[in-house]
Chain A
Amino acid sequence: MPTLDELAAAALLLGLIMYAVFGGADFGGGIWTALASGPRKQEQRESLFHAIGPVWETNHVWLIYVVVVLFMVFPRAFAALFIALLAPLVIALVGINFRGAAFAFRHFGRQTGRGVPLIARTFGISSMLTPMALGMAVVATAGGSIRLEAGRVLAAPWHWINPFTLVGGLIGMAICAYLTPIYMAVRTRGELQEDFRRRGMIAALVLGGLTTLQIPVAMLNAPAFAARLGLPRTLVCIALTVGCGLLTEVLLWRRRFAAAQIGAGATVAFTLLGFAAALYPDLLLGQLSIAEAAAPRATLLAFFTVLPFGVIVLAPSLFYLYWTFRGSPDPEAPPEDFRL
């Protein structure tokens, strides 16, 4: 039977997964507007912007969810992480700022016809920078470069830049770039759909390559983390990730897009679950465990008391949102039904 702290850690992980699966696709939209290529470059960009429109604010609330859960339920971890990882978090934050603003300005910019190239470039660059920095920050919790001694946080100034975190950052970016084209393939038709299908399959190979690369890098650079990769629970997650990833490629190959989008989301979820399984029972590898970081019991109880009320309000609302904007990415167009 899991303890209350472990359940809270699961809620935290769930938030992170939701952010990766929904918010990540949003960043991926930015990445692919920057990387748009071929004869349908403009259509690719247009459809990406259309698709992000109605859901981007909602998708980014998951990040706030993660931050709030962290400081409410694991205040010690929150303080330690935000002290040790100030630099990458600031970079992510600046990226989030410019990205959100660039996206919002785009609506007006297109109308007035000014500043569009600058806005598009800002949007593209910050869409890469933010998941990179966030990926580095998340992976740094397992890198062993942050130490806690008598309540003080000890870390070298540039500790968060090393091969292990850099590959982690690239994985963060690759996750985003992987999800978007697959989600888009469901929402587009014809040649545009083929464009996204191809991009999704290539991105899948990149993501798979990077996560595989991370294993030898961890052995050299983060041995404590690498040692945990051999645990049965981690191996199960890795097997599930590989299985889902391969299945998604097959589904894309056979143009089963609706199923592929679920497979892609599951691949990303299992990737993060695998990372968490290796990190468990710690929040900061070898330094701070879930139990040590947890808030007093009354706070955990309050957290789990409020949770179901939130779910009762949010789950149908979210469903209504995604259901209303299903089908064609243009919100002005009538919805088409999913063809499963």
Chain B
Amino acid sequence: MDNVMAARALMGVSLGFHIIYATIGIGLPLMLMLAEGIALRTGDELYHRMARAWIRPAGLLFAIGAVSGTVLSFELGLLWPRFMEFSGPLIGMPFWMEGYAFFTEAIFLALYIYGEQRLSRRALFLCTIPLALSAALSAVFVISANAWMNTPTGFTLEGGALRDVSPLAAMLNPAFAHQAVHGTLAAYAATGFGMAGIYALALLRQGASPYLKRVLVLALAVGSCSLPFMLVSGDWAAAFLAEHQPTKLAAAEAHFETMAGAPLVIGGWPDPATGEVHFGIKIPKLLSLLAYKDPAGVVRGLNDFPADEVPDPRLVHPFFDLMVGAFFIMAAVAGWFWWRIWLKDDITGNRRLLWLVVLAAPFGLIALECGWMVTEFGRQPWIIQGVMKVAAGATPNEGIAVLFAVFLLVYILLTAGLMKMLLPAEPPTAGPVADREERHADS
């Protein structure tokens, strides 16, 4: 494995790992806020117990998220010092603001988790508001830095050196808006569906209880409410890519030849050597329609660009399709669920429906990870689209493969430890468990 490949692999593994915890770190605060808010407003204690039952796994997952985030901030320098030397003055600001947001999040999370004996119920609820808000903002800021790598703005180049630097213009780069909306809401969808699955499983195992029903409905409501926005912002992203990053769109859609009335290819295996897609289903004119709102629109294909400046569609198209597919799985299950609620059916006794909710549970996170891979692989071979290639941003240090091996081992150990701790321990499915003695035992 050469150094650049090892650096990419390590960054990829670290981010892929961090994203899981960061997602929960964005989604769970919203759930806490809603549950505590409902409890305070309606006086329904079940909602308060629900929120308190989440804090144990939440504390653990947040801690791992904070640690893996620290790892990433170091890896920016350890793996990509040349990239950071160039772009630090530009994307430093969103990271700087993210630092504040994360700081705020850590403070209010600590207050919420540890403060039950020292704060009033109203104060506890009020702590969840800055918690949820700063969690969402930290996602928005980090996404701004990523969006800048796709559509770098806020500077001019003069003989390879930066001129006319404007951190504000860099932060508000063209891709920022749609990526921020799409990425942040994805975390809500992933958390909502993930938690709904856990509680649906608990309902299947333990039978109906008012507690489990309330949690399931709340979790699925959070997940489902995000879905329409995901569709709209996804469509916005596609139209944006057609204009600003045509190579990414072409790779995502396995679209090789520039043409008017381009078909949408679903599934299949793109072959960059021949420019064909094997076994894909083609829907005529749909790609043009999606990208330009015009069935006759001209969509540029990969063959239109120099071969050393396009991403490999084999790494982009399958993840793109999986992301879209995951969306439809979640949408279908959510649709059926709310239809049954509308009909005032007893959803807690509907085993087939509950199993479907369990089945749909991982797809939010799957879609999120896939979407991230589409945007990252789709930018290749650039680290800053059109400005700096990945290899030019990497560290001159040798032996990055060793580093990759070390951190892979660290992550495997952490995940194994986490599994060992989370799985046999009583999951939060046991209903209102967090009574005083038990929390004393764990403190």
Query: Which chain A residues have a beta carbon within 8 Å of chain B's beta carbons?
Result: 50, 53-55, 57-58, 60-61, 63-65, 67-73, 75-76, 78-83, 86, 89-90, 93-94, 96-98, 100-101, 103-105, 107-112, 114-115, 152-153, 295-296, 298-299, 302-303, 306, 309-310, 313-314, 317-318, 320-321, 324-325, 330-335
Q: Which single member of B60, B81, B167 contacts A302 (CB below 8 Å)?
A: B167
Q: Once the chains bind, are A60 and B70 in contact (CB under 8 Å)?
A: yes
Interface status of B69 (Cβ within 8 A of chain A): yes
Q: Nearest Cβ in chain B — how far from A326, in angstroms? A: 9
Contact A325 B421 (CB under 8 A): no
From A54, A73, A76, A112, B424 is in contact (CB under 8 Å) with A112
Q: Which of B92-100, B194-202, B214-222, B381-389 touches A?
A: B92-100
CB distance from A300 to the nearest CB of B (A): 9
Q: B interface, how many residues as a size bin? A: 35 or more
Asked if B107 contacts A317 (CB within 8 A), the reply is: yes
Taking the closest CB of chain B, its distance from the CB of A58, in whole angstroms, is 5
Contact yes or no, B115 A299, CB < 8 A: no
Q: Are A89 and B82 in contact (CB under 8 A)?
A: no
A104 near B60 with CB under 8 A, answer yes
Give 1 or 0 for each of B60-97: 1 = CB within 8 Å of chain A CB.
10111011111101101110011011101110110111
CB closest chain-B residue, reference A332:
B117
Q: Is B305 an interface residue (CB 8 A)?
A: no
Q: A90-B403, A93-B70, A317-B130 are in contact. Are A331 and B115 (CB under 8 A)?
A: yes
B241 in the interface (beta carbon within 8 A): no
The distance in angstroms between the C-alpha atoms of A61 and B104, with both chains bound, is 10
Q: Roughly how many angstroms separate A321 CA and B103 CA in the complex, as a whole number?
A: 12
B-side residues, CB < 8 A to A, are 56, 59-60, 62-64, 66-71, 73-74, 76-78, 81-82, 84-86, 88-90, 92-93, 95-97, 99-100, 102-104, 106-111, 113-115, 117-119, 130, 162, 165-168, 395-397, 403, 406-407, 410, 413-414, 417-418, 420-422, 424-425, 439-443
B107→A112 contact, CB < 8 A: no
A81 vs B88: C-alpha distance when bound (angstroms): 14
Q: Report yes or no: A96 in contact with B71, Cβ–Cβ below 8 A.
A: yes
A166 to B439, CA, bound (A): 43
Q: How far is the CB of A84 from chain B (nearest CB, A)?
A: 9
Return the contact of B165 from the options A67, A70, A96, A298 (Cβ within 8 A). Answer: A298
Greatest chain A CB density within 10 A among B66, B102, B130 is at B66
Complex interface: chain A residues within 8 A of B168 (CB): 302
* Distance to closest chain B CB from A224 (angstroms): 24
Residues of B within 8 Å of A317, CB to CB, are 104, 107-108, 130
Q: Is the CB of A96 within 8 A of B67?
A: yes
A78 and B107: CB pair below 8 A? no
Residues in chain B near residue A299, CB distance under 8 A? 89-90, 92-93, 165, 167
27 contacts between A and B (CB under 8 A): A54-B111, A57-B110, A58-B106, A64-B102, A67-B73, A67-B76, A71-B77, A71-B88, A75-B88, A75-B92, A82-B81, A82-B84, A86-B403, A94-B406, A94-B410, A100-B66, A101-B417, A111-B441, A115-B417, A295-B92, A296-B165, A298-B167, A302-B93, A306-B96, A325-B118, A331-B118, A331-B443
- The CA of A86 and the CA of B421, in the complex, are separated in Å by 32
Minimum C-beta distance from B425 to chain A (A): 6
Is B96 a contact partner of A78 (Cβ separation < 8 A)?
A: no
CB–CB B425/A108 < 8 A: yes
- Are A105 and B417 in contact, CB atoms less than 8 angstroms apart? yes
Q: A58-B107, A64-B73, A107-B442 are in contact. Are A86 and B78 (CB under 8 A)?
A: yes
Closest to B93 in A: A302
Which residues in B have their C-beta under 8 angstroms from that of A332? 117, 439-440, 443
Give bound CA distance, A100 to B63, whole Å. Answer: 7
Are A83 and B93 neighbours in the complex by a CB distance under 8 Å?
Answer: no
The 8 closest A-B pairs by CB, nearest first: A72-B92, A82-B77, A75-B88, A104-B63, A100-B67, A295-B89, A79-B85, A79-B81
Contact between A108 and B421 (Cβ–Cβ < 8 Å)?
yes
With A72-B96, A108-B60, A109-B421 known as contacts, the answer to whether A57 contacts B66 (CB < 8 A) is yes
CB atoms of B67 and A78 under 8 A apart: no
Q: How far is the CB of B74 from chain A (nearest CB, A)?
A: 5
Q: Name the CB-closest residue of B to A303.
A: B96
B418: chain A residues within 8 A (beta carbon): 101, 105
Q: Which of A70, A78, A90, A93 has its CB near the most chain B CB atoms (within 10 A)? A: A93
Q: Is the CB of A313 within 8 A of B100?
A: yes
A63 touches B70 (CB 8 A): yes
Q: What is the distance, in angstroms, from B367's C-beta to the closest C-beta of chain A?
A: 27
> Can you name the residue of chain B whose Cβ is closest to the Cβ of A318?
B107
Q: Which one of A90, A109, A310, A324 lies within 8 Å of B119 (CB-CB)?
A: A324
Closest chain-B Cβ to A37's Cβ sits at a distance in Å of 24
Residues of A within 8 A of B396 (CB): 83, 152-153
* Contact call B71/A303, Cβ cutoff below 8 A: no
Query: What is the bound-complex CA distance between A140 and B166, given in angstroms?
Result: 33
Of all chain B residues, the one with the shortest Cβ separation from A330 is B443
Closest Cβ neighbor of A108 among chain B residues: B421
Contacts of B106 on A, CB cut-off 8 Å?
Answer: 57-58, 61
Residues A107 and B67 in contact in the complex (CB < 8 Å), given A90-B406, A296-B162? no
